[in-house]
Chain A
Amino acid sequence: MSGMRGLSVFISDIRNCQNKEAERLRVDKELGNIRTCFKNDKGLTPYKKKKYVWKMLYIHMLGYDVDFGHMEAVSLISAPKYPEKQVGYIVTSCLLNENHDFLRLAINAVRNDIIGRNETYQCLALTLVGNIGGREFAESLAPDVQKLLISSSCRPLVRKKAALCLLRLFRKNPDVVNADGWADRMAQLLDERDLGVLTSSMSLLVSLVSNDYEGYSSCLPKCVKILERLARNQDVPQEYTYYGIPSPWLQVKTMRALQYFPTIEDPSTRRSLFEVLQRILMGTDVVKNVNKNNASHAVLFEALSLVMHLNAEKEMMSQCVALLGKFISVREPNIRYLGLENMTRMLMITDAQDIIKKHQPQIITSLKDPDISIRRRALDLLYGMCDVSNAKGIVEELLQYLSTAEFSMREELSLKAAILAEKFAPDLSWYVDVILQLIDNAGDFVSDDIWFRVVQFVTNNEDLQPYAASKVREYMDKIAIHETMVKVSAYILGEYGHLLARRPGCSARELFGILHEKLPTVSSPTIPLLLSTYAKLLMHAQPPDIELQKQIWNVFKKYESSIDVEIQQRAVEYFELSKKGAALMDVLAEMPKFPERQSSLIKKVEDVEDTADQSAIKLRAQQLPSNALVLADPQPVNGTPPPLKVPSISGIKLDHESASQTQSQPNGDLSKAQSQIPSADLVGEMVDSLAIEAPPVDMGSHQRVYREEDGIPDEVDGTAIVPIGDQANKVEPIGNITERFNALCLKDSGVLYEDPYIQIGVKAEWRGHHGRLVLFLGNKVTSPLTSVQALILPPAHLKLELSLVPDTIPPRAQVQCPLEVMNIRPSRDVAVLDFSYKFGTSMVSAKLRLPAVLNKFLQPLQLTSEEFFPQWRSLSGPPLKLQEVVRGVRPLSLPEMENLFNSFRVTICPGLDPNPNNLVASTTFYSENTRPMLCLARIETDPADRTQLRLTVASGDSTLTFELKEFIKEQLIAIPMGSRALVPAVPVPAAPLAQPPSPAVDANDPGAMLAGLL
């Protein structure tokens, strides 16, 4: 670079600029100059070119756009001299990124340098590829880079770069490294003595095995050997020792790689690995030097993850926990944080739980740490380690802590305390105590979910009701209580206050008095609750208390003209109801029990959970290519403790579960932010709007709510489907769905449905009465489609089994869903696929007929006259042989008609019928009930009037004969017109013959009903 006067003058000009504007003017002037020079490139000397390209780089680094001159930069790559080549490489890798088309021009020059003999050039080229290599680079350069990596003649420097370069290429295109061919070489590479090459090869290996560990098992012992070498500090050169620790980077990487393999089987390898781990665990301690601490702790924590991954013996575990226990008692906050975090991770292993419990006092002390991040970790850990044995202690500790905790943590804290209390309550009254105490202590931070949940519990447990009522009554005596407490108290006293009637101070009138005191202090969402309570108190007041009635009526009258509609409505309705006297009893009966369901609290905490878990297992789960199978995997590997698992349901249910979970999340948030909006939660729903309705109605409506929320499988009936179907379908399908379906009836593959976001293709194979349809769900856009649901509504005659449909289709990806079909008996009913997904916020749903129609179960069969006629004669008369004159047929010439028949697998047997205007056809029908069944057909056409013909169909089964005849008739009439509009024109089987038994549509069969509607 020395001696480039123009460049240094330019740079000093820029540096001397007084202000930004002067700099911009100077840069623009220079850019104009460069443009002029590049345009006159006839006389551009290599020196000048180099100079201008450097200037371009300098301008680019100053933050200005340089959008020309890339050609010159790229052309410098192939220059013969080093200085120019260097500029070319540096500027190209700075100005371009992997998606630039221009890079294609460079590939060849780069390749020449890589396969060339000059080491310096090789390094330049490898660096460029390692920085900006894309797919195309991967395809064309990977073999050469691999060759460099394994060649024995290259210097370690080049091989080191080659390994990193290959890593980049592999990340861009995983196909470039094939496990079969490469595994052995990878293993050889791990024998390398040079630690630099080894470290970069290990990076490559980590990436390879994180993608797919199969095939690389030969590397496993080598990794262990490397660890041994490092741990024993054998032949580690000085420059790779960091504060006395032999290459901590390589150690960490090696252990990370080992975590991608399943547990090691080979006992000797396992033993030596454990020896190494033991050594690491033993040898690590907290020292003064920060850098040394960092390095040794990095190694230690990786070793811990490896220990966890390997499911090591209890002894080793307890050693780990002991070590961590030492960590959390250290003064240095970073180390304490790490200790707590890793203990949380250790919790995933059930064995460790008991050992960790020993440290409980220490962890509880951490709750009072001045550093909030440590407090959070401690809270997570406490939450995770809680079980029946220590729940009481921990929850009490949390409650105590709640009063001193800072505000940002209180909500989470109260939520967690509530969950722990619920999950590990030794008895229910304790639970009620805890929650009430919680509400009392931290009212503002207690989300609605918490008190909904306690109300649910109380409602569902009769023996708890008097206790809860008396407990809230006690709280009501306090002078200032939180509004949430008023809500709980009002609800519980309204429902169960009468159970206390005998006790002193608990008569209806007294309860009313004490509740009414609170009325002026509460906000408007609480007032309706209080009104309901008054109504209930009034009802329970036995014998009727005129004084109380008067007071309550006064309240109702006062609110009759409230500006809040909810309050107004309740006041008016309760007032009218309470005049009815005895009828009130029915309407205001006790709330029914809530159905048992997963606690919404737990769902909520699952959303909140921030698992700082970076274990290799998790990484692997994230890195797995997102194909349908993986996404359908029911249990995402994350750091949540085992009790939080969703009870897994198999098959299609699971799909619903996950979909409903994702749907309910926003709801949960909403209800938190704005309690006016009906909450996702059941109690919220009821408290908000349904309190007045009589139990049966109530039951019904909450049943509905329940279904919509949870999507449990038995809701798949008519009512549940309607809301989705009724939604305005804003996304217009591309093409005519009916036409697509008709085409697919004759073909085996094609597009079933398409709209701007998704394309659904079908490919089918049919064998006998079995069939296999594969649905290809292709996402056409660059954002994922969520809440994908596919539901088959099978008609009675088909048995359909749809494999799992993933909840999300990744951007521009295609997902395959196989569908097994079995035909039980002949029928023309069609299976319907109820398909819906969410794009952005809009829900799109479609009902699609599946092309599993009658003719798919036919097998073409050509008969000779000797075979045909005996059969034809043996099947005589209805119901086995049916004849009908069909009118309104689309005029077809005979060859056309033959084609039509052949296309739906009814083979025309030429020359059997003496009359050339008649066609004779045969086929075999497969179903589970009928077994292979021969079907014969005869079509007599009238050459004078092609719109009518006589159709005779015969088979060994009356239903089959009828269905097949109707089917052929439909084809003759409907298909050529390509529209459903003509279908009504088909003469409804006017029972000219004995009506075969089954074609009546089963009214209870939703699939059939829908198919009928379509």
Chain B
Amino acid sequence: MPVAASAIYFLNLRGDVLINRTYRDDVGGNMVDAFRTHIMQTKELGNCPVRQIGGCSFVYMRISNVYIVTVVSSNANVACGFKFVVEAVALFKSYFGGAFDEDAIKNNFVLIYELLDEIMDFGYPQNLSPEILKLYITQEGVRSPFSSKPKDKPVPNATLQVTGAVGWRREGLSYKKNEVFLDIVESVNLLMSSKGNVLRCDVTGKVLMKCFLSGMPDLKLGLNDKIGLEKESEMKSRPAKSGKTIELDDVTFHQCVNLTRFNSEKTVSFVPPDGEFELMKYRITEGVNLPFRVLPTIKELGRTRMEVNVKVKSVFGAKMFALGVVVKIPVPKQTAKTNFQVTSGRAKYNPSIDCLVWKIRKFPGQTESTLSAEIELISTMGEKKSWTRPPIQMEFQVPMFTASGLRVRFLKVWEKSGYNTVEWVRYITKAGSYEIRC
């Protein structure tokens, strides 16, 4: 049973309805009021993405400054519901040119109504791929059939597009320059104890592609993953290369990937959609190269003073560098005055999140940087609860570095016409939830 959404609402942060579409009659029109009074105005917002009120389930998520609420009255597949919302947002973004927020919605009411009509029918999700929808729901003016100019393109066949073998790619594309861009984006999640023991560590990665290729090309991607390499060596009946191989967990592919070939040959081969798409997702839990080490020492000197020393070491290659490094060091709520000394970057105290925020724009590899701060606390009346010491959080981006060690071995493009292609490969590692206890 898929979503069977009864209605979908877009609310701003105050709880006003920006736009909504009712797909079924089984919920009343005032359900959104229930959502506003029972969820938005309580502190529970953000705790639990699914709430049940009065026989209805509210499946909601927040995207920038918009809440998207799906109201479901039956026992629906919630994961499917979330997937639908995420895909819908991606669709809107591709229509609006990148941004999805309150203003974007206000500027595109008509378009959104059109799309909402198309992407869900009687509560069941339909085709959400932007490439296809853009053929039919256009933003340009429609040429009148009585205009004199003959059509140079055949009318796209809608049924074939929806039901055809390669539903994601239009035929007859042609580019002057045939290019493929491939990005491997990884985010590192880490929880480390104050002594430096890794408590939890994993990497979630995505392979993103952007294709500008003519015709119906067939692509084949080779990574240094374990199964692919083993299979290859088996087929070529020679021992595997001794290089590092990566074990990928939970791999999911875009629908264009030919799964039968993947199952038999363990190679990723596909006919790509035109433009940007996410080819595959994976997770890695072992053999993660951590880009940063953090050594905190936090001393509470009596009830009104604290001393914080944080040393951050970059452990990736010396030629590389990290960008946008932010270290958030939590301090008690009653912090009154702070004094800093940093070897690089800038630090300041942000009272609204109760953290010292230390920003370093560019952090070269194999270096270290320290912050030492003196903190004065104000004395309080409340009962003397000891401070819970939340973990230090870190944000960063390291280009050309993969925490998993994943590398692209080859990317082959094959097309009937046999044109030449240019392939661009890029790697980037970001911080997911990178936390160090102190």
Contacts and interface: CB of A to CB of B under 8 A. Distances in A.
Given A67-B382, A68-B380, A102-B381, A39 B14 contact: no
Interface string A1-44: 00000000000000000111110111011011101101110000
Contact of A36 (B13, B337, B353): B337
A35 B382 CA distance: 15
B352 interface: yes
Contacts of A288: none
A476 to B, nearest CB: 47
Contact of A29 (B335, B351, B376): B351
A70 B378 contact: no
Nearest to B337: A39
B247 interface: no
A68 B379 contact: yes
A65 interface: yes
A580 interface: no
A35 B350 CA distance: 13
A67 B14 contact: no
B14 A38 contact: no
A826 B13 CA distance: 90
A100 interface: yes
Interface in B146-167: none
A706 B335 CA distance: 68
Does more than half of chain B's interface fall in helix, strand or loop, or is it mixed?
loop
Contacts of B14: 18-19
B321 to A, nearest CB: 32
B349 interface: yes
B378 A29 contact: no
B381 A28 contact: no
Given A36-B337, A38-B378, A100-B381, A29 B352 contact: yes
A32 B335 contact: yes
Nearest to B383: A67
B381 A70 contact: yes
A910 interface: no
A32 B13 contact: no
A21 B42 CA distance: 11
A196 interface: no
A67 B14 CA distance: 29
A69 interface: yes
Contacts of A22: 13
A68 B337 contact: no
B381 A68 contact: yes
B41 A20 contact: yes
Residue among B349, B351, B353 having the largest count of chain A Cβ atoms under 10 Å: B351
B336 interface: yes
A32 B378 contact: no
Of A19, A21, A102, the most chain B CB neighbours within 10 A belong to A19
A25 B351 CA distance: 8
A28 B334 contact: no
Nearest to B349: A32
A67 B335 contact: no
A25 B350 CA distance: 10
A29 B335 CA distance: 12
B354 interface: yes
B354 A28 contact: yes
Contacts of B378: 35, 38-39, 68-69
Contacts of A68: 334, 378-381
Interface string B315-355: 00000000000000000001111000000000001111110
A96 B382 CA distance: 11
A35 B336 contact: yes
Contact of A40 (B13, B337, B351): B337
B240 to A, nearest CB: 53
Tell me which of B13, B334, B378, B379 has the highest count of chain A C-beta atoms within 10 A of its own C-beta: B378
A692 B96 CA distance: 87
B64 to A, nearest CB: 13
Which of B335, B336, B376 has the most C-beta atoms of chain A within 10 angstroms of its own C-beta? B336
Contacts of A70: 381
B349 A39 contact: no
Contacts of A18: 12-14
Contacts of B336: 35-36, 38-39
Interface in B1-33: 12-14
Contact of B334 (A35, A40, A71): A35
A65 B382 CA distance: 9
Contacts of B379: 68, 71
A592 B385 CA distance: 67
A226 to B, nearest CB: 45
Contacts of A96: 381
Given A35-B334, A36-B337, A39-B376, A67 B351 contact: no
Contacts of B382: 65, 67
Contacts of B41: 20
A115 B180 CA distance: 88
A31 B351 contact: yes
Contacts of A21: 13
A610 B209 CA distance: 76
A812 B334 CA distance: 36
Contacts of A31: 351
Contacts of A71: 379
A29 B350 CA distance: 8
Contacts of B12: 18
Contacts of A39: 336-337, 376, 378
Given A36-B336, A36-B337, A70-B381, A19 B13 contact: yes
A28 B349 CA distance: 12
A25 B381 contact: no
Nearest to B334: A68
Nearest to A95: B381
Q: Please list the 8 inter-chain residue pairs (A to B) with the smallest Cβ-Cβ separation, ordered nearest first.
A: A32-B351, A39-B336, A67-B382, A35-B336, A28-B352, A67-B380, A19-B13, A25-B352
18 contacts: A18-B12, A19-B14, A20-B41, A22-B13, A28-B352, A32-B351, A33-B351, A35-B336, A38-B336, A39-B376, A67-B334, A67-B380, A67-B382, A68-B380, A68-B381, A70-B381, A71-B379, A102-B381
Interface of A: 18-22, 24-26, 28-29, 31-33, 35-36, 38-40, 65, 67-71, 95-96, 100, 102
Given A24-B352, A25-B352, A67-B380, 11 more contacts: A28-B353, A29-B351, A32-B352, A35-B334, A65-B382, A67-B381, A67-B382, A68-B380, A68-B381, A69-B378, A96-B381
